[in-house]
A and B are shown apart, each in its own frame.
Chain A
Amino acid sequence: MMTTTARQRRAGLVLPALTVAALALASCSGGDGGSGGDGTVTYWSQWEQGEPQAEILQDAIDDFTADTGIEVQVEWQGRQIMQKVQPLLRSGDVPDVVDASSNDIRATLVRAEQTRGLSDLFASQVPGEDGTVGDALGDYDELITADGMDGPFMLPTILMAQSLFYDGNAHDLAQPADWSELMSMLEELESERGSGPIALDGDIGSYGAVWTSAALIHQLGAGGFNTIAADETGQAWDDDGVRTALGRIAELAEGGYWADGSFGSKFPQMQERWAAGEADLLFMGSWAPQETSTSTTDNFEYRQLGFPPAGNGEFMQSDVSGFAVLAGSDNPEEAEQLLAHFVQADVMQAMADDAAQLVTRPDIDPPETLADTAELINDRTAVRFYDGVDGDYPGYPTDVFEPVNLELLRGEIDVDEAITQLIEAQQSYWAKQG
Chain B
Amino acid sequence: MTAPVADPLTRPGGSGASRPGRRADGGATSPLQRRRAKMFWPFLLPALVLYTAFMVGPTLASFWISLHSWDGITPMTWRGLTNFHLLLADPVFHTALLNTLVILFGVGAAVFALSFALTMLLRDMAGRRFARAVIFFPSIVSPLVLAIFWGFLFQQRGLLDSLLTGLGMADRPNFLGDHLWLIVCLGMVWMSTGLYVTIIMAGVDQIPPYLYEECELAGATAWQRFRYVTFPLTWDVIATTTVLWTVSSLKIFDFILAFGGTTNDLPPTSTWNTALFIYGNTFGGRVPLYQFGYASAAAVVTLVTIIVLVVLLRRLTRREAVQL
Question: Are A and B in contact, CB atoms below 8 Å, in the complex?
Answer: yes
Q: Is residue A204 contacting chain B, with contact meaning CB distance below 8 A?
A: yes
- Tell me whether B268 and A403 are in contact (CB under 8 A): yes
Contact of B151 among A14, A204, A266, A410 (CB under 8 A): A266
Chain B residues proximal to chain A, CB less than 8 Å:
48-50, 52-53, 56-57, 59-60, 69, 72-73, 86, 89-92, 151, 155-157, 174-178, 261-266, 268-270, 280-281, 283-291, 294
- Tell me whether A17 and B280 are in contact (CB under 8 A): no
- Tell me whether A264 and B266 are in contact (CB under 8 A): no
Q: Lowest 5 A-B CB distances belong to which pairs?
A: A261-B156, A264-B177, A263-B177, A264-B174, A264-B156
From A112, A403, A432, name the one whose CB has the most chain B CB atoms within 10 angstroms.
Answer: A432
- Tell me whether A108 and B156 are in contact (CB under 8 A): no
- Tell me whether B157 and A87 are in contact (CB under 8 A): no
Q: Is residue A7 contacting chain B, with contact meaning CB distance below 8 A?
A: yes
- Tell me whether A266 and B155 are in contact (CB under 8 A): yes
Q: How far is the CB of B13 from chain A (nearest CB, A)?
A: 22
- Tell me whether B52 and A204 are in contact (CB under 8 A): no
Q: How far is the CB of A179 from chain B (nearest CB, A)?
A: 26
Q: How far is the CB of B209 from chain A (nearest CB, A)?
A: 43
CA distance A1 to B270 in the complex (A): 32
Contact with B along A233-275 (1 / 0, CB 8 A): 0000000000000000000000000001101111101000000
Contact of B90 among A107, A202, A432 (CB under 8 A): A432
Q: Is residue A380 contacting chain B, with contact meaning CB distance below 8 A?
A: no
- Tell me whether B284 and A83 are in contact (CB under 8 A): yes
Q: A7-B52, A434-B69 are in contact. List 5 more A-B contacts (CB 8 A).
A: A4-B60, A108-B288, A204-B262, A264-B155, A432-B90
- Tell me whether A17 and B86 are in contact (CB under 8 A): no
- Tell me whether A264 and B52 are in contact (CB under 8 A): no
- Tell me whether B269 and A403 are in contact (CB under 8 A): yes
Q: Is residue A416 contacting chain B, with contact meaning CB distance below 8 A?
A: no
Contact of A261 among B157, B270, B280, B287 (CB under 8 A): B157
Q: How far is the CB of A203 from chain B (nearest CB, A)?
A: 7
Q: How far is the CB of A137 from chain B (nearest CB, A)?
A: 25
- Tell me whether B175 and A431 are in contact (CB under 8 A): no
Interface size on A, residues (CB 8 A): 52
Q: How far is the CB of B112 from chain A (nearest CB, A)?
A: 28
- Tell me whether A265 and B176 are in contact (CB under 8 A): yes
A and B contact pairs by CB, cutoff 8 A, 12 listed: A3-B56, A7-B56, A10-B48, A18-B50, A108-B287, A203-B261, A204-B265, A263-B176, A266-B176, A398-B266, A402-B268, A403-B269
From A83, A269, A398, name the one whose CB has the most chain B CB atoms within 10 angstroms.
Answer: A398
CA distance A158 to B229 in the complex (A): 71
CB-CB under 8 A from B281, the residues of chain A are 395
CB-CB under 8 A from A79, the residues of chain B are 263-264, 286
Contact of A265 among B156, B266, B289 (CB under 8 A): B156
- Tell me whether A399 and B177 are in contact (CB under 8 A): no
Q: Is residue A82 contacting chain B, with contact meaning CB distance below 8 A?
A: yes
- Tell me whether A104 and B286 are in contact (CB under 8 A): yes
CA distance A395 to B295 in the complex (A): 13
CA distance A125 to B62 in the complex (A): 51
CB contacts under 8 Å to B, within A66-88, are 78-80, 82-83, 86-87
CA distance A89 to B59 in the complex (A): 24
Residue of A nearest to B290 (CB): A86
CB-CB under 8 A from A410, the residues of chain B are 177
CA distance A260 to B284 in the complex (A): 30
- Tell me whether B268 and A260 are in contact (CB under 8 A): no
Q: Is residue A390 contacting chain B, with contact meaning CB distance below 8 A?
A: yes
- Tell me whether B287 and A394 are in contact (CB under 8 A): yes
Contact of A399 among B56, B89, B262, B269 (CB under 8 A): B269
Q: Is residue A406 contacting chain B, with contact meaning CB distance below 8 A?
A: yes
CA distance A399 to B277 in the complex (A): 10
Residue of A nearest to B262 (CB): A267
CB-CB under 8 A from B53, the residues of chain A are 14-15, 18
Contact of B155 among A17, A78, A265 (CB under 8 A): A265
Q: How far is the CB of B294 from chain A (nearest CB, A)?
A: 6
- Tell me whether A431 and B176 are in contact (CB under 8 A): no
Q: Is residue A205 contacting chain B, with contact meaning CB distance below 8 A?
A: yes
Q: Is residue A206 contacting chain B, with contact meaning CB distance below 8 A?
A: yes
Q: How far is the CB of B312 from chain A (nearest CB, A)?
A: 17
